[in-house]
Chains A and B, each alone.
Chain A
Amino acid sequence: MNRFLLIASFFLPGTASAQADVEKQIQTQLILAEDGDVIELPAMKIYLGNTLSLDEKKNVTIRGAGQDKTILSFKGQTQGAEGLKVTNSQGIVLENFTIEDAKGDLIKTQAVKGLVFRDITARWTGKPKKTNGSYALYPVQCQNVRMERCTAIGASDAGLYVGQSDSVWVTKCYAKNNVAGIEIENTTNAWVYENFAAYNTGGILVFDLPDLPKKRGGHVKVWKNKIVQNNYRNFAPKGNIVGKVPPGTGVMVLATNDVEIHDNYIMDNKTASTAIISYYITENPIKDKAYIPYPSSIYIHDNVYSEGKRMPTWKNKLGFLFWLKFGRNVPHILYDGIQNPDYLAGDGMVKPEYRICVRNNENGTFANLKAGNKFKGISRDLTPHDCEHESISFDR
């Protein structure tokens, strides 16, 4: 069955009661949707007071009339933490609309198998501020997620944020003025390619965090992205992990295993063009015994970095430390150097399968920060990292 349900737009858009009628009509359609339905949103700006929600549906599409035509505004939201919430569903497509100014997340999807976000603008209007919601597009505990040609602006945590999911493709998206542009967290099998992450605090983050039901992420490939001028001030509320990301971060890998970063264009990120760090750098306590706080099997190759010198931020402990250590010439690729004793072979060297490999990066200066040694004896020698891992294959 494949019905097309057009939300009537004959209401006068100006009046509050007409707006409430449209909201009610959309929510009714979402509740009554049958398998295969396409719910078409009207070409108008709609002010909503409550979260729109879709639950336990199969093969339902929610389609706007275009990102500049259908605008769901949650500016006056009084109920619910999200703009749109999709849960416990399969085969969901969200496309062709703009969603803005929710109190919490703009679109949160949880426990959805087979999910497409396509041609969606998700943004907080006005100057980026800490009272903006956390995530623009937020699939969590989902499987087979595609985000393509989406734009995320102004998230006080992450613009495009994939958490505790499996099999994820993020491509041709644009993330700007978020704290984190794109974040892949405790997620397995993610392919992040041909995106544009610019003017965020951090461009692309690949994180594994403790205390979560999905313990380990990894097998993440980040390639052919443009990661440019991510020097925006960090406006995340304190307490959140991204609040610790220094302004001027291009790519950051935190405690994740099996990550390949290659053929990216990583320009003018002033503090850490590419950082590979353990969870210890966050100085948060670790009580989760199943958690492995170290990055491993990382392969950074064939990226292009900017020429010349960069002055790291002072508005962050790490940035300030980099300035103390490197002055106005902070290297591009920074590894904290904190070793997992379990990853060492008998000779004291890291076993090949766990190594941090760095090869053939244009202008790719490097430093091992020796953070475990209180940042003493920082080494710029790339020889211990002159290695390679098998390239992660691209599953479409």
Chain B
Amino acid sequence: MLLGFWAAAFSGPAGETESCKTGRGPKTKLSEYGFFAGNLSDLKPATGVFTYDVNAPLFSDYAEKARFIYLPEGTQMAWNDSTAFQFPDGAAIIKNFYYPNDASKPDAGRRILETRLLIKEPKGWKALEYIWNVEQTDAMLEVTGASFPFSWRNAGGKVQQIQYVAPNINQCKGCHSYDGQFVPIGINARQLNRENSDDNQLLMWNKQGRLSLPPGFKPETGPRLSDYRQFSGPLVDRARAYLDSNCGHCHNPRGPAGSSGMFLDISQNNPERLGVGKAPVAAGRGSGNRKFGIVPGEPGESILLFRMENNDPGIRMPELGRQLAHHEGIELIKSWIKEMK
């Protein structure tokens, strides 16, 4: 039966490696899917594969990401105004994590470290983790993830060194969880409603037949997160966008951090739920001797900031996906709390 599904998900003319895509179960090597044409490390999308960009990216140790979606031929994504878009079986979301060899020299090339795949199967989403070889010729499936030292030269010319950690499959679900079910995170209207070069991403996909949109959809009135990296627009919008994408996938009533009672997703409008004057529940030493999640006007007394600034695995937030503090994010949230009344 399983084989039948995989055969059904098989798309494109047989015999071409590019068209193998998600059919016939998890592959040992990333190259076997045929998501990319030519040199694998060029990440040049093959037929059925296209890039996507988000408004408010998740911070992951300053790694850059090349993001792609694969849709089997003749299928499309279905709109949802608040949660992830619906995907046809056989679709895949492909996220490649890389660092520029030298961030101050755009031509110096890049080093791809991992590729995370989400594949839509009839019973739900499946996460697969691929680790790239040093030669950059391919990436291998690793169910337990990986951990290795890595260094790169950042935009300021400084060499940064970290123990890079690629998550295991269970850890993927530590974030990608809604009511206990595996879900994509960034593939929602508010993240994807953005202008890429000359066209709106959602309208473009709609024209290409890749996405259904509600009748009369207009990008300017649709849901949209602020791009917190741009220093424009209201501070509150940028801060809430940052919290939504970095925290809200866990910290919402139906996410893994639902038990904390602190909700940071964009739909949350109750100040107490956001942490204002809220005492911690199970923070332990994560409280940093501070009394409340957020103390308006006092970032230095807010647990939220303490956990963003700290790198201890028992204290830091998010729990997974970072070894380094995100200075720009910290400054943003600090300003927001400082101005809060």
Which A residues are within 8 Å of any B CB, using their own CB?
24, 27-28, 30-32, 49-51, 53-56, 77-81, 85, 87-88, 102-105, 110-111, 130-135, 138, 140-141, 156-157, 161, 163-164, 209, 211-213, 236-241, 284-285, 287-288
Beta-carbon contacts of B265-302 to A below 8 Å, as 1s and 0s? 00000001100011111111111111110000000000
A213-B258, A238-B291 known; A135 vs B282 contact (CB < 8 Å): yes
- B151-165 toward A: CB 8 Å interface, digit per residue (1/0)? 000000000000101
Given known pairs A87-B173, A163-B259, A212-B281, the reply for A103 and B287 (CB within 8 Å) is no
Question: Judging by beta carbons under 8 Å apart, are A239 and B314 in contact?
Answer: no
CB distance from B151 to the nearest CB of A (A): 16
Find out whether the CB atom of B284 lies under 8 angstroms from the CB atom of A104.
yes
- Which chain B positions have C-beta within 8 A of A104? 284, 286, 313-314
State whether the Cβ of B143 lies closer than 8 Å to any Cβ in chain A. Answer: yes
Q: What's the dominant secondary structure at chain B's contact region?
A: loop
- Asked if residues B284 and A27 are in contact (CB atoms below 8 Å), the reply is no
Cα–Cα, bound, A130→B177 (Å): 31
Cα–Cα, bound, A212→B280 (Å): 10
Give the complex CA separation of A261 and B258 in angstroms. 31
Residues of B within 8 A of A212 (CB): 259, 261, 281
With contact pairs A212-B281, A287-B277, A288-B272 given, residues A239 and B170 touching in the complex (Cβ less than 8 Å) = no
Of A54, A78, A164, A239, the contact of B289 (CB 8 Å cutoff)? A239
**CB-defined contacts of A88 to chain B, threshold 8 Å:** 173, 177, 180
Q: How far is the CA of A377 from the CA of B180 in the complex (A)?
A: 52
B253 within 8 A of A: yes
A102 to B165, CA, bound (A): 18
Complex Cα–Cα for A105 and B285 (A): 11
Give every chain A residue within 8 A of B328 (Cβ-Cβ): none
The smallest C-beta distance from B340 to any residue of chain A, in angstroms, reads 16
CB neighbours of A213 from chain B (8 A) = 253, 258-259, 261
Q: A103-B313, A156-B284 are in contact. Are A211 and B261 (CB under 8 A)?
A: yes
Q: Are A240 and B277 in contact (CB under 8 A)?
A: no
User: Is the beta-carbon distance between B313 and A80 smaller than 8 angstroms?
Assistant: yes
B312 within 8 A of A: yes
Given the contacts A27-B144, A31-B168, A104-B314, A239 and B259 also touching, CB distance less than 8 Å: no
- Could you say which of A50, A87, A238, A239 contacts B147, with CB atoms under 8 Å apart? A50
CA distance in complex: A78, B280 (Å): 24
- Chain A residues near B262: list those with CB within 8 A: 211
Q: How far is the CB of B271 from chain A (nearest CB, A)?
A: 8
- Rounded to whole angstroms, the CA-CA distance of A31 and B286 in the bound complex is 28
- A78 to B324 CA separation, bound complex (whole angstroms): 12
**1/0 contact string of B249-267 vs chain A (CB within 8 Å):** 0000100101101100000
Q: Judging by beta carbons under 8 Å apart, are B272 and A287 in contact?
A: yes
Q: Does B174 contact A (CB under 8 A)?
A: yes
